[in-house]
Every structure is written in C-alpha cells, then in structure tokens.
Amino acid sequence: MHIFNDTLLNSSNNQKVSILCHDSVVSPKLSKDKQEEAIKRLPTDPNKTANLHCSLDIIEGMLYDLTVNTNTEDGLANGASCVVKFIEHKLKETQRPSIIWVQFMDLKEGCETRLKYKNRGFYHGQINENWTPIFDIARTFTYNKKTFERIQFPLEPSAGRSVHRAQGTTLDCVVIDLSQRRTRKVPHLHYVVLSRVRSLEKLQILNFNEQALQVDEQDDVVIKSAGSISCQNFKFVLLNVARELSEMQVVILYKSPKMSDSAFRTMLTEKLFPRLVHHKPLIILGDFNIDVLKCHGGVLQYLYDKLNCRLHLNEPTTDYLSALDLIITNIDAIVGTVETYWSDHKIVYCCSQRISSN
C-alpha cells in the first residue's frame, strides 16, 4: 500500500509540495533545548500523533483521504475521499501552502464549507465552485508522558489503501491484491474488499489465493434489518439478531450535538419505540453526543423508565477523554472500547452470552 502510493508520488509530473508539520510541547514546561529534543523523538506513525503526518507530500490530481473529523455534519469526516485539485499559496514569504483545494467524490460532502468560504471571498477565477478548501489544523496528543501540539493538513495519500482503511468507501474502479499467504485472523474480511466497487466489471483481482479468504465455519448468526430512520440530526438502524433459539434487538444510533435532549426524547418516542418488541433483549449503542462523564442528563433516565435499559459503558470513548459513545441495554453484557487509527472516537463493543457462544 505505502509502496504503491510512494511510486505514484515519485512518478507524477504534476505540481507537488512537501509539507512539514509544526510541532510544539504543550506540557510540561521545558527549556527550549529539551523541547526540541522531545520533538525529535516523536514517532513517524501518524496513528500516534493525532492522525497528522510529520511530513506530507501533496500532488495535484492524486487521491487523498481526510485523516481527521473536521466537520462531520458537513461530511468532512475521517476517511472521506477526495482528489487534490489545486495547491494555493497566499503568503510569498513561505513555501508552505495556505489552502489545499480538493474535490470530494460525493459533492454533498463539504457543501456547507464551500458556501461558507464563497461568502468570505475565497473563490476566484482559478477555483472551481465544486472544490472544497482544506486548511491545516492543530491537534494535541500525548506521547512519552508529554503533551504535544501538531499543526498539519489532515490528509494522506489513498490511491492505495489497506482493507481497514477502505471500510465505508464506495469506488468506481478497484484493483485488489490478494497475494497474502498468511491465513487471516478476521473471518469475512475479504468481503470488505470485494464490496468496495460499484460494478463487478470494474473489479480486478491480482494474485488470487484462497488463503487470503477466511470464513467462520461456526458462524450461524442471522441478522435482519427491522427498519431505519435518517434525518438531519438523528439516525438509527434497528437489527434483529438471532442465533439458534436466542433473539436480540440491536439499535445503532447517532444523535447530532445540535439536537436538544427534549427533541431526542421525542424522536425516540415517535420513531424508535414503536418498532421495538419490549419483551426481547435490547442493546442500544452509538454516538449519543452526551458526555456521561460530565452529566447524565434526563435521556438515560428516560431510557431506563421506558425500556428498563441501563448505561453499561462509563469510560472515555474519544481522544478528548469524553464519553459520547454509549452502550445502553436491558441485559447483562461485557462492554469495552478498542482504539482506532481512523477516528478520534474509539470502537465500542458489547458481548452477550445470549447470542455469542464465546
């Protein structure tokens, strides 16, 4: 993956710029020499530096992904794919770009951002109205018991990408390399790869081998959709999960931070509750955008009163030590979080003996 991207970067004759990050030590207070030494010891792995690269090569015409959630309401989320269209320099005294103009695969992504900067006069004769401005951002992270701040453009080359990085994307043309000889530990991972392309005619498989395909022979769980709702500030998918004689309802939910608690309760009452079978086991999980480490509010009590569901996850679920991703259920379960490299949110998981034999 990295070799493929590097080959494209090195072979392109399009305009290219190499952008170094700006790092600083936030805490503890150190002398200038010690700050410089601490910065030199920072890892080059962006997964350990708030998903911002130490050095970033940008080439016009190449495919990139956002590496940080900059405005999820506008579709500018970690993993959003775009093509770099123009590298704009506004300051003559530096070679560092001021703006990287990109065009997203889905023109709905960045729509509000484009309107915002059109009104501010950022668009001129060289800038297409469908291009979205990407600016460098500042993010803090902790490494070796010190807190750093890094300023960098939240982009990375993505013409070649890993299976995990490809999750959630839909592409017109895909070339897949299945040359790996080791048996994969994760069953059905090949499905993620093969389902990224819109048409089989645009799919090419290189170095096919059966060892790259791993299927869980004991997987007898049946999952069926029981409905969904998607509106501007509220989304959910309701699933019926069955294994042998056990059945469970799982709700995957998202609430925008713009939605008030009262509006949230109304949506739950009118849209979700009528679809639930109240005698069945129920798990509700997702991004509630309610930080339960600061205040529980009335929503959790409301869910307990109506569904007899309790909060089962009470630990930070983001890089900012907030607990926004919740698991609320009426059954006994093992819950926890898993770190991710593609988001500032962690994966939350819930294991129940009612479905799983593990």
pLDDT in tens, 221-234: 778 888 888 888 89
User: Do residues 112 and 194 share a domain?
Assistant: no
CA 175 to chain centre: 23
Structure tokens, 171:
């592409």
Tens digits of residue pLDDT in 85-101: 999 999 888 889 999 99
Assigned domain for 7 exists: yes
User: Do residues 9 and 147 share a domain?
Assistant: yes
Confidence of residue 162 (pLDDT cuts 50, 70, 90): confident
User: Do residues 26 and 117 share a domain?
Assistant: yes
Three-class SS of residue 122? coil
User: Do residues 208 and 226 share a domain?
Assistant: no
Look at the alpha carbons of 144, 149, 152, 154 in this order and tell me if their dihedral is positive or negative: positive
For residue 243, the model assigns a pLDDT of 77
Torsion of CA 224, 226, 231, 236, to 10 degrees: -70
Query: In terms of residue numbers, what domain contains 186?
Result: 171-212
Assigned domain for 166 exists: no
207-219: average pLDDT: 61
Assigned domain for 314 exists: yes
Assigned domain for 357 exists: no
Q: Is the pLDDT of residue 167 over 90?
A: no
User: Do residues 247 and 205 share a domain?
Assistant: no
In whole angstroms, what is the distance from residue 274 CA to residue 271 CA? 7
Assigned domain for 165 exists: no
In whole angstroms, what is the distance from residue 233 CA to residue 323 CA? 19
Q: Is the pLDDT of residue 356 over 50?
A: no
Q: Assess contact for 177 and 44: CB atoms under 8 A.
A: no
In whole angstroms, what is the distance from residue 316 CA to residue 318 CA? 6
User: Do residues 6 and 153 share a domain?
Assistant: yes
User: Do residues 260 and 335 share a domain?
Assistant: yes
- Give the residue with greater pLDDT, 196 vs 258: 258
CA 153 to chain centre: 17
Q: Is the pLDDT of residue 79 over 90?
A: no
Q: Is the pLDDT of residue 216 over 60?
A: no
User: Do residues 145 and 177 share a domain?
Assistant: no
User: Do residues 191 and 227 share a domain?
Assistant: no
In terms of Cβ atoms closer than 10 Å to its own Cβ (0-12, 13-18, 19+), residue 323 is: buried
Assigned domain for 284 exists: yes
Mean predicted lDDT score pLDDT of the chain: 86
For residue 353, the model assigns a pLDDT of 65
260-286: average pLDDT: 91
User: Do residues 17 and 152 share a domain?
Assistant: yes
